Amino acid sequence: MISVLLVDDQDLVRMGLRALVSGEETMRVAGEAADGLAAVAEARRLRPDVVLMDVRMPGIDGVEATRRIAADPELSGTRVVVLTTFEHDQYVVDGLRAGASGFLLKNTPPADLLAAIRTVHDGGALLAPSATRTLIREFTTAAPRALEPHPRIGDLTDREREVVGLVAQGMSNGEIAEHLVMSPATARTHVSRAMIKLSARDRAQLVVFAFRSGLA
């Protein structure tokens, strides 16, 4: 059973999310919060598997709330999905850097939202490749970036560096395999080893490390 914390300052939005999640046999609503500070407090109290986090809220915003949750060692098993309209590109970039595992548009179809919750709970890539490329375009057209290489980036083999760069381009394991002429299993192994070496929680964080380290 996947426990989900719903965070949004609009009662109507939370009501809709509650009805959607509660209607799914494999999920349950762990709790709700209407602002960023309450979101952090409820996450620490309830330790949900997934947090659906709105960005613009009173008090601290969703980005700062995400940062505090991701930095809490007792919440290492909690994944944050930021709800956004993509109207504010910097929120997307900041959310990734804060530790979000992915993003959903607020107009995401209900079935896709439920599928996304399952995927991020399982540690997979939250966004489909096409959506990931959209996110990356937003990332790369933001203000010029100062490189902040990961301290263990030198531990990656040349092939792993290449694979991480392709992940940051939005490629799935299958697409990486085709691009590099290798089996999907081999591509998956390279991605997994890179994530372990860089201590990346998921592919979203791997993308952040790739951009910060100049691999993308």
Domain ranges of the chain: 2-140, 153-212
Is the pLDDT at 131 greater than 70? The verdict is no
pLDDT for 107 equals 82
At residue 121, the pLDDT reads 86
19-61 per-position pLDDT tens digit: 999 999 999 999 999 999 999 999 999 999 999 999 888 889 9
- Please write the tens of the pLDDT for every residue from 107-123: 888 998 898 898 888 77
Q: Higher model confidence: residue 214 or residue 12?
A: 12
Rg (Cα) of the chain, in Å, rounded?
17
The whole-number average pLDDT for the span 154-180 is 90
Which top CATH class is 153-212?
mainly alpha
Task: Looking at 47-170, list the stretches that DSSP marks H as alpha helix, in order from N- to C-terminal side.
Answer: 62-71, 89-98, 110-121, 129-140, 158-168
At residue 187, what is the residue type?
A
Give the model confidence (pLDDT) of 148-163 as tens digits: 788 899 999 999 999 9
Q: How far is CA 68 from CA 3, 44, 71, in A?
A: 19, 10, 5
| Topology (CATH level 3) of domain 2-140 | Rossmann fold (3.40.50)
Phi first, then psi: give them for residue 137, nearest 5 degrees.
-60, -40
- Is residue 29 a contact partner of residue 23, using CB atoms and an 8 Å limit? no
